[in-house]
Amino acid sequence: FMKIIINRANQAVHLNAVNESGQSIQMDGSPAIGGEDLGMRPMEVLLSSLAGCSSMDVLSMLKKMREDLQDYQVEITGERDADEVPSIFKKIHVHFILKGDLNTKNVEKAISLSMEKYCSVSKMLEKSADITHSFEIQSI
């Protein structure tokens, strides 16, 4: 199993999440709930987790396909219904930006396999959100 320990870092809602290896991330709330913008919001961490999980798949597959990837970026957006409590993601879009002389079919295959089959975070979130993805290949 996996274990994360969350410690309060101030007298408000600034939190420090630490894994068993000692790596950490900072989370905080919006000023509207007493936060001080000292870390990512938990829902931003969730989006980051989706982009990170899929990225690990995509980067690994492209390496196995011997693609010469020069640079890589993901832009992820999430839409929530602000009037609902809890305000969960309804729509998420993941846009992959890859640089290099890459085979479009290999890129498309790697991204599709990750988003639709391998990425654990994607598979969990697709139960409540409509998740879409796109990509662009930029030449160097």
Contacts of 126 (CB under 8 A, 6+ apart): none
Spatial CB neighbours of 48, under 8 Å, sequence gap ≥ 6: 40, 76
Look at residue 51 in the predicted model and tell me its pLDDT: 98
**27: Cβ–Cβ under 8 A, 6 or more apart, which residues?**
14, 15, 16, 17, 39, 40, 41, 42, 45
Residue matched to tokens 């630490």? 18
pLDDT tens, 56-78? 999 999 999 999 999 999 999 99
- Residue 140, pLDDT score: 83
Dist CA 70 CA 119 (whole Å):
23
Crossing angle for the helix pair 104-113 and 42-64, to the nearest 10 degrees = 130
Task: Indicate the pTM of the whole model.
Answer: 0.93
Q: What is the mean pLDDT of the chain?
A: 97
Predicted local distance difference test score (pLDDT) of residue 29: 96
pLDDT greater than 90 at residue 82: no
Q: Span 21-33, mean pLDDT?
A: 96
